[in-house]
A and B are shown apart, each in its own frame.
Chain A
Amino acid sequence: MAETAVKNPVMDSVEAQNARALKRLRKRQKRRGDIEKARVKKSKGKHINGSLGGDIAIFILLALLGIFMIFPLYYSIIQSFKPISELFVFPPKLYVVSPTGENFSNLFKVAGNLWVPFSRYVFNSVFITIVITLMHVFVVCCCAYVLSKCPNIPGYKFANQIIVTSMLFTSTATWIMQFVVMAKMGMINTYWALILPNVATSMGLYLMRQNMSTINDAIIDAAKVDGAGAFRTCWQVVIPNQKPAIATLIIFVFQGAWNVQGGALVYKEDLKTLPTIMSQIAAAGIARQGIIYASAVVLMIPPLVIFLIAQSNVMETMANSGMKD
């Protein structure tokens, strides 16, 4: 290569070429040094290919948009702290002059006078939410593993197709048939009517299925060679690598389960859930304006807490950990 370069008159001299090669090498070394530095910084979450200016620009953009997004949350929280005299000011003020906990204490006063003790509704909601969340995560993870990582079992394509199709189906008439099915099975007015229909939802399954399909096949084959069955591969190899998806799954299912209202399925008073009873309290209308906001804020707290816990635990994850090609 070097010989032809010397012979070729168009090409530069060997010295110039060497100089340029050296320059490139230095540049590359510097870049590699940068990467090493970035890798050290990585523990603090620094991006390799980013600049400080870019970070600041993105931050400002996100902050401006964020103000619009956080607004309803802010608004319902300040509304819940407004005394009666401020609640009906028109147009509504965006700040509280004299904040008060009155609305919350009124809420619990009303709740304390209910025919069934208030703690019963709290128990119902908490119980149902925990059971649905645990069952959903277990059932969905098992099924998603098969639907993403066992492509040669008969029925694989068909099962996947069903899940996607069911996500697109909406009907105003399905609930009638759901009621018929549950009535036939004698589930009306039991906890089962609140729990079981919410366990097997296709959105969570499809979310997990899509995320699991990014897992490297080699890691699964390795587990198989080591003698792990499908179940063990799923829970000891695949699931630990799926923290971000699991966190998202938990957020979705918790939020859905917490807001389950019995509707037509449960009409026994001591099986009703917290959201049902809160909307019954709020139904008193304008006289309970403050209480409506207070109950909305109280109901919002558990999903918010779960969201923050789940999201902040995701950060330290390493995707495909244990995989080095």
Chain B
Amino acid sequence: MAKVKEQKAVKPLNTDSKWHYTLHLMKMNQACYWMMAPFFALFILFTAVPVLMSLPLGLTSFNLVQFPHYVGLQNFYSLFVNDDVFLTAVRNTLIFAIFTGPFSYVLSFILAWLINEMNPFLKVFFTFVFYAPSMTPSAFVIWQLVFSGDSYGYLNSVLLDWGIINTAKQWLTDVTYMMTVVIIVQLWMSMGAGFLALRAGFQGIDTSLYEAGAIEGIQNRFQELFTITIPAMGPSLLFAAVLAISGAFTVGSVGAALCGMPSTAYAVHTVMNHAQDYGSIRYEMGYASAICFVLFAVMLICNQVIRNVLSKYTD
């Protein structure tokens, strides 16, 4: 508040137009723009410009060899009308997004909170343990062993020993199990950046708030969580939510690694797999860009909805 007042006070006399005032504000805060400049210079050059240049590709037919030529909305038309696999992929992506998105978000929050209740050494230790899969390359190789389709697969051999099943199940190629298996592995993989950011959020909370809360009569961990921790963590929660959304809608690598690409009957084929199929196998860049554009539009809407929901509950 004080900042606003200060700047209003030195508002110049020639405030006849809004434009002049804006210019004046910009001059007043020159230092701020200089501080933003390095990031945005690099960001515009290496992210914004390539992204903006690749957007129109969705309207073209482009095979990486010939110069792209304009085909209008034909890509989008065939996407929704002719491409059965795309519709399967949309269905699968929605199932993945609904199951893995919210669950991984809540799960990483709960785990980050439980870890926060430990003493400093255990905090570091458990944070390390739960973040370990994100630092191990090809971490899901181990799941291939667990879910291997022959009777030597760990899961199969255990279930056979206990007499729960009498033939080895094809966990990774049988359509009935594939979805469930990939969702489980996906959830297990989801303790990544969002989890670590939430840990940082927990550690950034002013400890005197807890003392104040205790004096006010908070008796247990749960009261503390709901009355102090969550309201103070709004920004970190929002960050983790954005990561969860983009993670949930762009799933695909786990399914492709476990079940192969394309998977049996496209049972775990997602929109992202579909885009990669056209982008890096068939080299139909125009079509792949159209797929990615649709995905982006859906994620933007989803992000807006979640922002609105979260802003109601946090500061």
A140 CB–B CB distance under 8 Å: yes
Q: Are B207 and A203 in contact (CB under 8 A)?
A: no
Give the bracket for the number of chain B residues in contact with chain A.
35 or more
Q: Name the one of A32, A70, A197, A252 contacting B193, with C-beta atoms under 8 angstroms.
A: A252
Q: Are B51 and A174 in contact (CB under 8 A)?
A: yes
Q: Are A200 and B292 in contact (CB under 8 A)?
A: no
Q: Are A49 and B51 in contact (CB under 8 A)?
A: no
A58 CB–B CB distance under 8 Å: yes
Residue of A nearest to B150 (CB): A91
Most B CB atoms within 10 A — which of A39, A76, A173? A173
Q: Are A168 and B296 in contact (CB under 8 A)?
A: yes
Complex CA–CA separation, A154 to B122 (angstroms): 45
Which residues of the partner chain A approach B272 to less than 8 Å between Cβ atoms? 170
Complex CA–CA separation, A315 to B288 (angstroms): 46
A177 CB–B CB distance under 8 Å: yes
Q: Are A75 and B51 in contact (CB under 8 A)?
A: no
Complex CA–CA separation, A231 to B32 (angstroms): 8
Q: How far is the CB of A71 from chain B (nearest CB, A)?
A: 6
Q: Are A202 and B133 in contact (CB under 8 A)?
A: no
Given the interface contacts A72-B136, A154-B25, A200-B39, does A307 sit within 8 Å of B54 by beta carbon?
no
B174 CB–A CB distance under 8 Å: no
Q: Are A230 and B35 in contact (CB under 8 A)?
A: yes
Complex CA–CA separation, A221 to B197 (angstroms): 27
B266 CB–A CB distance under 8 Å: no
Given the interface contacts A200-B39, A311-B124, does A211 sit within 8 Å of B201 by beta carbon?
yes
B180 CB–A CB distance under 8 Å: no
Give the bracket for the number of chain A residues in contact with chain B.
35 or more
A73 CB–B CB distance under 8 Å: yes
Complex CA–CA separation, A71 to B168 (angstroms): 24
- Binary contact track B1-23/A, C-beta < 8 Å → 1, others 0: 11110010000000000000010
Q: Are A159 and B36 in contact (CB under 8 A)?
A: yes
Complex CA–CA separation, A142 to B2 (angstroms): 22
Complex CA–CA separation, A65 to B130 (angstroms): 8
Q: How far is the CB of A231 from chain B (nearest CB, A)?
A: 6
Which residues of the partner chain A approach B70 to less than 8 Å between Cβ atoms? none
Which residues of the partner chain B approach A91 to less than 8 Å between Cβ atoms? 145, 148, 152-154, 157
Given the interface contacts A173-B289, A299-B137, does A234 sit within 8 Å of B35 by beta carbon?
yes
A147 CB–B CB distance under 8 Å: yes
Which residues of the partner chain B approach A58 to less than 8 Å between Cβ atoms? 114, 117-118
Which residues of the partner chain B approach A50 to less than 8 Å between Cβ atoms? 117, 221
Which residues of the partner chain A approach B299 to less than 8 Å between Cβ atoms? 168
Which residues of the partner chain A approach B280 to less than 8 Å between Cβ atoms? 172
Q: Are B47 and A90 in contact (CB under 8 A)?
A: no
Given the interface contacts A48-B211, A170-B250, A202-B43, does A229 sit within 8 Å of B31 by beta carbon?
yes
Complex CA–CA separation, A199 to B46 (angstroms): 10
Which residues of the partner chain A approach B242 to less than 8 Å between Cβ atoms? 164, 167-168, 206
Chain B interface helix/strand/loop/mixed: helix
Residue of A nearest to B52 (CB): A177
A117 CB–B CB distance under 8 Å: no
Chain A interface helix/strand/loop/mixed: helix
Residue of B nearest to A259 (CB): B137
Complex CA–CA separation, A207 to B197 (angstroms): 7
Q: Are A152 and B129 in contact (CB under 8 A)?
A: no
- Binary contact track B107-139/A, C-beta < 8 Å → 1, others 0: 000010011011110111011111111111111
A47 CB–B CB distance under 8 Å: yes
Which residues of the partner chain A approach B40 to less than 8 Å between Cβ atoms? 143, 159, 200
Which residues of the partner chain A approach B114 to less than 8 Å between Cβ atoms? 58, 61-62
Which residues of the partner chain A approach B41 to less than 8 Å between Cβ atoms? 200
Q: Are A180 and B53 in contact (CB under 8 A)?
A: yes
Residue of A nearest to B107 (CB): A65
Task: Please list the residues of chain A having a beta carbon within 8 angstroms of any beta carbon in chain B.
Answer: 31-32, 35, 38-39, 42, 44-50, 54-55, 58-59, 61-62, 65-66, 68-73, 75-76, 90-92, 138-140, 142-143, 145-147, 150, 152-154, 159, 162, 164-178, 180-182, 196-197, 199-203, 205-207, 210-211, 213-214, 217, 221, 224, 229-231, 234, 242-245, 247-248, 251-252, 255, 296, 299-300, 303-304, 307-308, 311-312, 314-315, 317-320, 323
A–B pairs, 17, beta carbons within 8 Å: A32-B215, A42-B207, A47-B221, A66-B130, A69-B188, A72-B142, A92-B145, A139-B42, A167-B242, A172-B278, A176-B285, A196-B42, A217-B3, A248-B196, A315-B203, A318-B206, A319-B203
**7 pairs of A and B residues whose beta carbons are closest in the complex:** A172-B279, A200-B42, A210-B235, A177-B50, A143-B39, A244-B203, A72-B139
Instruction: Other than A49-B220, A197-B47, give 8 A-B pairs with Cβ distance below 8 A.
Output: A49-B214, A58-B118, A73-B133, A177-B49, A177-B50, A181-B46, A211-B200, A307-B131
